[in-house]
Structure 1
């Protein structure tokens, strides 16, 4: 989300979720339901495939 200039708080508010939920998704402690991926992609203006690609943990 950093590259899109959005914060966890902004995404949480836009989706009607808690910041804690977004934090868990970003930390890979939990995964969002598939239905939410579309909403996240739309909000962040990214292709949904980018949300599904594995993270490069360098």
Structure 2
């Protein structure tokens, strides 16, 4: 659930993130619930959008 915190802290809307990354809302939901993880290319983009280090997108 760490990704949820980063999204909330960024102030970005989920819809905007979905559009920018070209992903569905279900994909982002799965990432936020740690059911699946973003592929490296999307993780790099997402980390930049959220202004966090890429390793901060993944729970320990």
TM over 0.5: yes
Q: 1:27: Cα distance to partner?
A: 0.7
Superposition misfits of 4+ residues, deviation over 3 angstroms: none
Unaligned runs of 5+ residues in structure 2 are 1-6
The count of aligned residue pairs is 54
28, 34, 37: which one aligns with 1:31:
37
Measure the CA separation in 2 of the matches of 1:2 and 1:17.
18
Higher relative contact order (CA 8 A, sep 6+): 2
Instruction: Tell me which structure has the larger Cα radius of gyration.
Output: 1
Identify the match of residue 45 of structure 1 among 34, 51, 54.
51
Structure 1, unaligned runs of 5 or more: none
| TM-score, with length taken from structure 2 | 0.75
Give the structure-1-normalised TM-score: 0.77
| Greater fraction helix | 2
